[in-house]
Amino acid sequence: MTSKQTRVGMGFDAHRFLPTKNGPSNKIMLCGVPVPSEYDVEANSDGDVGIHALVDALLGSIAAGDIGMHFTPNDSQWARAKSEIFLKHALKMVHEKGGEIVNIDITIIGERPRVFPHRENMRKMLSELLALDIDRVSVKATTTEKMGFTGRKEGIAAQAIVSVLV
């Protein structure tokens, strides 16, 4: 019998901002939570950069490619799809390999929207979606000090890292 090993996966995602059609009531999805935003995101699905980065990290931890290999970006069946669908698929694949998530760590990168007021809701949402104790779920944010595309408020990005026992 082979003992389990800890494997690590890393993911990154970015989406361009678009002018909002909904005005001040606009919201974008971040880690499964609708967050007020002065922008929309350009994406085929709901454009949740936090979950998209997490999906890539989970898939990477079991050497199963990336989100685009499983959900083709230009496929109309995924238009406006909730990113939770992608996350559940990646989680199922981890479980099918006998994997158990040890922890996740997500960093949202951008000047806007402000993440801090929504951080605990994001942690709770991810904890529920992954059936993972909340103390194993980290969500944080950073800016790029007004440098690059996120600094110019042209878009938003996220990176994620996971540890999986397989």
Question: What pTM was computed for the model?
Answer: 0.95
pLDDT band of 24, cuts 50, 70, 90:
confident
Q: How many domains does the chain have?
A: 1
Spatial contact of 36 and 73, defined as CB atoms under 8 Å apart: no
8/166 Cα distance (integer angstroms): 10
pLDDT score recorded for residue 1: 56
The answer to whether residue 1 is domain-embedded is: no
pLDDT score recorded for residue 74: 81
CA–CA distances in Å: residue 135 to residues 17, 46, 73, 120: 32, 27, 32, 11
Structure confidence by residue, pLDDT tens digits, 56-115: 999 999 999 999 999 988 888 888 899 999 999 999 999 999 999 999 999 999 999 999
20/24 Cα distance (integer angstroms): 8
Dihedral, CA of residue 166, residue 13, residue 118 and residue 150, to nearest 10: 150
149/132 Cα distance (integer angstroms): 33
| Residue 67: domain span | 6-165
The answer to whether residue 128 is domain-embedded is: yes
Q: What CATH number is attached to the domain comprising 151?
A: 3.30.1330.50
Q: Which of 100, 80, 132 is nearest to 71 (CA)?
A: 80
Pick from 23-27, 64-68, 87-91, 133-137: least confident: 23-27
